[in-house]
Amino acid sequence: MKTKASVYLRGSSKFKVVSITGEDKPMINEDMLGKWQHLINLTAKILNIPAALIMQITEENMQVFLKSQNPENPYESGGSDRLGHGLYCETVIGTNRELLVENALENEKWKDNPDAGLNMISYYGLPLRWPDEEVFGTICILDSKENDYERNATELIGEIKEAIEADLKFLVDYEKLERIKEKIRNIQKLESVGILAGGVAHEINNPLNGIINYSQLIKEAAAGNSDAVGYASEIISEAGRIADTISSLLAFSGNETQGVSIHMPSDIINGIISLISGMIKVNKIHLVMEIEEGLPLIETNPQLLQQVILNLVSNSMDSLNNKYIGADKDKILKIACNRAEDTGGDFIRITVEDYGLGIAESTGRHIFDPFFTTKDRTEATGLGLSISYGIVKELGGEITYESEENKWTKFHVLIPVGGIQSGA
């Protein structure tokens, strides 16, 4: 949800709601502040006026962000005036165009505006906007005498406006670049973990095969000894379960076939659940699986899709553990998969549902943003859902969520079906 402010358009007796600088916008750095300060100081000096200002709008006020540092300037840095009673800058922002007032005292519309009380009776200003059109504020000049601000003056302010808006765009682009770089670093870490996991799995696999083979020999040699045969069969069964887990780990870590291929949705889901079923049991979570029979095959990258499912399940487990200490009948994690008929049948829908803490509306606005997390920074990077969002888009799908705070959350992942329209 965007941050909004209501500005009063003097002369029209109307209010207009505008989108203003949101929480996602970067801070203005010291170098930029110094540059802007130098520009407005020069402006006041060149034009021989008492006040050149960069104003910033907030939800309730218009405040002085920077002021020219000449002694005649009556404004204070950080000073503010409430919105709603017809400031010069409100009209600039509300109309999104320049405003020229040569002499407010001789202008019926402007003679009682608040700035006139500071003897600032002439004004010229332009709006300042972020690249996404959210309003930062205004760049303006004011004089204590009548002033028509000839062309040289208005062109100068126009050039400063362009310079400031270019800086705002640079800040946004730079922050995006830093987020991408951090995302790449974290993906590289994940790749390293995958390689390590694959190596460990291979090391376990070799002696495990020996255990299975020798157990089979014991079973055959102990024919007629029911106890020994039973023990050997149990060893073979448990070792086989470990081998299945290792096979899933190898697939997930990327040490088996990569790329897009045709798969049954149930195989992908069961493969990742086999890796974490132990964690689910340890945390005393009731797992409910609802996989529709006869699902179409999907053409996808199984490792990437499993990464998405793992992240969603991990988040659900955290939410359940934070809400319930120990076992509880409502400590439920549900994983469902069905054909998404509302999409014309061209997608399957994987849903991960829990009855944990839910997601607050204010949190939901940023849930897929890189580095956004409600957890301690030592416990989470804030990249899980952002990466999952990117993966699902790369796979040609869509990820959405619905939630009721303190009650439940559902994440839905749509994945397109493959060219072969039969499966299980």
Domain match, 230 and 289 both: no
**155 inside domain:** no
* CATH code, domain carrying 83: 3.30.450.40
Same domain membership, residue 269 and residue 245: no
Q: Is residue 41 part of a domain?
A: yes
- The domain boundary, picked from 149, 169, 196, lies at 149
For residues 405 and 282, membership in a common domain is answered with yes
297 shares a domain with 221:
no
Among 129, 149, 169, the domain-final residue is: 149
Statement to judge: residues 67 and 107 lie in one domain:
yes
DSSP classification of residue 335? E
**Same-domain pairing of 212 and 287:** no
CA separation for the pair 135, 95 (Å, rounded): 12
Instruction: Say yes or no: 118 and 231 in one domain.
Output: no
| Closest by Cα among 273, 265, 259 to 422 | 265
CATH number, domain at 246? Answer: 1.10.287
Q: What crossing angle do the helices spanning 30-47 and 151-221 adopt, rounded to 10°? A: 170
Phi and psi (nearest 5°) for 354? -140, 165
* 419 burial via Cβ count (<10 Å: 0-12, 13-18, 19+): exposed
Q: In this structure, is residue 270 part of a structural domain?
A: yes
> CATH code at 283?
3.30.565.10
312, containing H or E segment = helix 302-323
Domain boundary among 256, 283, 312: 256
pLDDT in tens, the chain (424 residues): 689 999 999 877 789 999 999 888 999 999 999 999 999 999 999 999 999 999 999 999 999 999 999 999 999 999 999 998 889 999 999 999 999 999 999 998 898 888 988 999 999 999 999 999 999 999 999 999 999 999 999 999 999 999 999 999 999 998 888 877 776 766 666 665 665 666 666 667 777 777 888 788 888 888 878 888 888 888 887 787 777 666 666 655 554 445 688 889 999 998 888 878 878 888 999 999 999 998 999 988 888 898 899 889 989 999 999 999 889 999 999 999 999 888 776 899 999 999 999 988 877 777 777 666 666 544 555 567 887 888 898 888 999 999 999 999 999 999 998 744 444 4
Q: How many CB atoms lie within 10 A of CB 338?
A: 15
Number of domains in the chain: 3
**Are residue 282 and residue 239 in the same domain, yes or no?**
no
In a shared domain, residues 252 and 375: no
- Domain co-membership, 265 together with 249: no
Let me know whether 209 and 295 are in one domain. no
Instruction: Count CA atoms within 13 Å of residue 110 on its CB side.
Output: 22
The string of DSSP codes covering 211-229 is: HHHHHHHHHHHTTT-HHHH
Question: Are 196 and 137 within one domain?
Answer: no
Q: Which residues of 100-137 are buried (b: 16+ CB within 10 A; e: fewer)?
A: ebbbbeeeeebeebebbeeebbbbbbbbbbbeeebbbb
- What is the span of the domain harbouring residue 252? 178-256
How far apart are alpha carbons 394 and 19 in whole angstroms?
A: 31
The answer to whether residue 160 sits within a structural domain is no
